[in-house]
Structure 1
Amino acid sequence: MLTAIKARIAAGTTFAGVESVLTPPSHHSLPDEPPAAEDILAIFAVARRLRADASAGTLGQPLRGKNLALLLETPPGEEQSALHRAALELGARVAEVRFADPGGPAFARDGIRGLARMLGRMYDAIDCAALPPATVRQIELEAGVPVYAGLGLDDHPARALADLMTLCEHRPAPGASIRFLGDPTTPRARAFLRAAREVGLAESEDATLVVDAAHGSHWSLSGPAGPLDALRRSENHRCMMQTLLLETIVKA
């Protein structure tokens, strides 16, 4: 099932078709063409299967023996991130690595290059969290393994896809529409709205499905019966990240 969406939701803030939603994070701008509806629905199907397997206790450890590095600008905290927990659930070994960029052209040219190569030898995939885009691109070019530009962050396409999947599971009818509140020009909003249109969720002022994005990165979703379940949103986000981890690491 995962092979059908191979190389189509890789890291970065891009949101081009499933091929480029999974493309290397060296592409950081949103493309003109949205992902095709069948590609989005294929991703949803994989994420839902992972959710069902986790609920039934049959998920297994498909990433057992794989190593994921989470590069952090600050010292690792006591609480694990959502991405950390999602990878552990798949059986991966996760290391939180403090990344300090001293700056300067010499380090940018030689230091990051050497560091990326070393990380590529030690780990099967690398997440760069909130590192600058130029640094992420350099690491991706040199590491030789999948590199994510903040897979667990709010502005990554995985979050937009997870929210869209949650709304699709609560829409009252196939022709339902959504009302979007907030700035529609942010990368996350553009990714979300493009994908929503592809799966048949047009915008309407009187829609019963509401996305309130007026408060920065904290989005709230509401359906005909009121606010959508926060636990289900969290589960969908976890499963969306796991879908991308499996497709990029196992198939790399």
Structure 2
Amino acid sequence: MSVFTYHLVKTNYFYALKIHLFPPKPKNIQGLIHAEIMTAMTLGSPIFSPSRMLIRQIALFAQWENESDIDNFLLKDNCGKILSKGWHTRLTIMRKWGKFNKFEIPEEATEFENPDSPVVAVTIARMKFLEIPRFIHWGRPVEKLVRDHPSTTLSLASIKFPNIVSTFSIWKTQKEMTDMVHGHSKVPKPKRHMNAMKERDRKDFHFEFTTLRFKPLSEFGEWNGRRNIIPNLKIN
């Protein structure tokens, strides 16, 4: 089974631009199935604010044939060497909704052995340009819900111009994440996510969209001075 990774690194403007201009490509990197390089954003921040677009912070979401290919990329590839200075987690797919081109995600779902296990959620979408204002209107309340939720240990958004947007969140347990999705969390305005999904079903914001749920396998490195970001997990 393939392995997914989510990488975060803070670098200088030169290397950030270089990674965007020369992103990792499967034809050049052994074992890479697909990767999306994006610029990190702060969930829920005002659209026109310095914290919205964090130019020096790079997010990479990738799918690999196996873990040895990930190790080789981080050790020998120029882009991988930059990413190795940050933080990343390795993930196995449990469930998906929707589809996003070029990722090879199996249709069948795998159940978590324990609903109290930590879970990682990734969404990635290709936006319809004319729907972006409507998406922002419905999406920012959901961003704030996830950002401020007591059960997330890390959450952020990212963007790849012109129209790819993504979110990444780590949850202490699968149950707490699904409670949020269904509007059952004990937080103010708990139905924000559910309401946004109803609006998307009424009129889609995206050309393509997928929500992915992962079991985290391991984490490596440090992000914003933090380690051990995923609860009850092997640390490297």
When normalised by structure 1's length, the TM-score is 0.25
**Bigger share in strand:** 2
Larger Rg computed on CA atoms: 1
When normalised by structure 2's length, the TM-score is 0.26
